With several copies, the nearest count.
Chain A
Amino acid sequence: MSKLVSMKDAIAASVHDGDSIVIDGFTHLICFAAAHEIIRQKRKNLTAIRLTPDLVYDQLIEAGCVSKLIFSWAGNPGVGGLHAMRRRTEGAGLGQLTLEEYSHFGLLSRFLAGSAGLPFWPLDNYAGSSIPGANANIKSVTCPYTGRQIATVPALRPDVAVIHCQRADDEGNAQVWGLYGSQKEVAFAAKRVIVVAEEIVPTSVIRSDPNRTLVPGLIATHVVCEPWGCHPSFVQGHYDRDNDFYVEWENVSRDPATYAKWLDEYVYGVKDRAEYMQKLGAGLMERLRKKPRMSEGVDYGY
């Protein structure tokens, strides 16, 4: 049963005002295309959850879609800050955006609990840190064997997860190589899962190498085919990270006026991802396109 729809239809059906949402991927496989569609559809009061909010959530924040951010590291690595977020959490802007903050391991552990169907997850962390004092969700249990206090975080079951992958079939069996991020954990934790693929392949391709499947179609709600869906992030085997974009973003995002102009031009001003890429130009795509580096297959015979 094909679940293949356009990004527009997937977001319209799955993402509602007030939802909690994870667009996952860690530097790799960050689906900016989904975020831009959410902005175009003017969703409000989202709880946006990611280890690294990155530019993708900063744009959602600047566009007014987000009322709460759950995160563990908020910056533009090696470049600067996330200015939409900072403008709403410092000085005069304080309180415009609610923050709930963990470390990477802590937030990941919330996904782990959600994905595993447990109400909490234990991690040996946070002793001596101010983080638990700033987040009442971080508690502890006593180990029944050693008497040690072990930190806990509660399960997180987001309403929607967006998972980007190299290839999927039309039922959402998603195969990924390169960096996994926490996509598997996020997908199993979520109530609805949008699988976005660079390429839709026949199910026989999936079945020919089942160990590569990260997320089974069983838990997918919608499937979207969106080539270049991660720019300026990257997809191993498809295109490189657009590092210049990340560097230039500091200048775009520091001033609300240039930020608004960018959103107008590259998000509101295009109808979909294809138009966005067209706008960026063939030269950029040529520069970022992968140089092939094929692995060998393995023998599944018996």
Chain B
Amino acid sequence: MGTDTLVPGVPTASEMMAMRAAHELHDRDVVFVGIGLPNLACNLARATHAPQLFMIYESGAVGAIPERLPVSIGDPALVTDSLQVTSQADIFQLFLQRGLIEVGFLGGAQIDKFGNLNTTVIGPYANPKVRLPGSGGACEIAVHARRLLVIMRMTKRSFVETCDFITSPGHRMPGGKSRKELGLPGAGPTTVITDQCVLEFGEDGEAVLVELHPGATVASVKAACGWDLKVAKELRPSRGIDASATTLLREKLDPKRLYL
């Protein structure tokens, strides 16, 4: 498991999540890029195995190749040298709703066992304990992206039996309806990447532990999860996490540690 003190060749939790997420990206995938770790994961993939990764930002930049790490989702460096800069209406209608986005990234304050995500409120909506930022583009990304990658640190507070509010639909919603029954076009969350492990979803829409990062154990994962997490019969070996990528992240992609 990662540590927050930088040891050469030993990835931190954030670095592991970025590396593991990069592994999910294939060359030429069309990715709807969020700021922060998703952006780092994309840049890492571009610098390694997916040089032709196609990045689209909700701010309107299509085919961006930012020459600096964007400090916001609408950084001027996303515009310069993009293939196209268009309106947000086009981004949401012509790209996302049209089904052109292969991969979306989301995170959240809460995720439940069906992959539903909450970025709206902790507590009741009318009288929240914490007022979170809200959906932004999350709901429509969860609806339309053909594959959805979730990146979240795993804690009992964030991996919960039931979300206080479903901002973005996962695989099975209150009342038990599936995505298919609700007519949701995208596949929903395909992979949840945490600081300890990777979860995927079974036929019944419930999350299953399928892979541990170096240093994590089934017991440490279960201790960090707010529900009785299913575990795959056979866990896969850890993937995508390696020392050379750590160096790349630290020295080239985010030397100022804006997001790491």
Contact = CB atoms under 8 A, between A and B. Distances in A.
On whether A and B touch (CB less than 8 Å), the answer reads yes
Interface of A: 1, 26-28, 51-52, 71-75, 77-78, 81, 85-86, 89-91, 94, 101-106, 108, 112, 115-118, 123-131, 133-134, 148-149, 173, 177-182, 184-185, 188, 203, 206-208, 210-211, 213, 216-219, 234, 236, 240-241, 243, 246, 293, 300-302
Contacts of A74: 131, 133-134
B36 interface: yes
Among A1, A90, A185, which residue has the most Cβ atoms of chain B within 10 A?
Answer: A90
Contact of A130 (B36, B87, B120): B120
A221 B100 CA distance: 14
Interface string B155-187: 000000000011111100100010100111100
Secondary structure class of chain A's binding surface, majority of residues:
loop
Interface of B: 30, 35-36, 52, 54, 58-63, 65, 71-89, 92-94, 96-100, 116, 120, 125, 127-131, 133-140, 142-144, 165-170, 173, 177, 179, 182-185, 258-259
B60 A179 contact: yes
Nearest to B68: A302
Contact of B131 (A89, A103, A236, A243): A89
A72 B134 contact: yes
23 contacts: A1-B52, A28-B76, A73-B136, A77-B35, A91-B129, A103-B138, A108-B92, A116-B97, A117-B185, A123-B140, A128-B166, A128-B170, A130-B166, A134-B125, A173-B84, A179-B79, A184-B87, A188-B98, A207-B82, A210-B84, A213-B62, A243-B72, A300-B79
B99 A117 contact: yes
A210 B82 contact: yes
A110 B3 CA distance: 45
B185 A185 contact: no
B54 to A, nearest CB: 6
A130 B167 contact: yes
A128 B136 contact: no
A26 B88 contact: yes
A101 B96 CA distance: 21
Given A216-B84, A217-B83, A241-B72, A78 B135 contact: no
B79 A173 contact: no
Given A78-B259, A207-B83, A127 B184 contact: yes
B30 to A, nearest CB: 7
Given A73-B136, A103-B136, A112-B89, A90 B72 contact: no
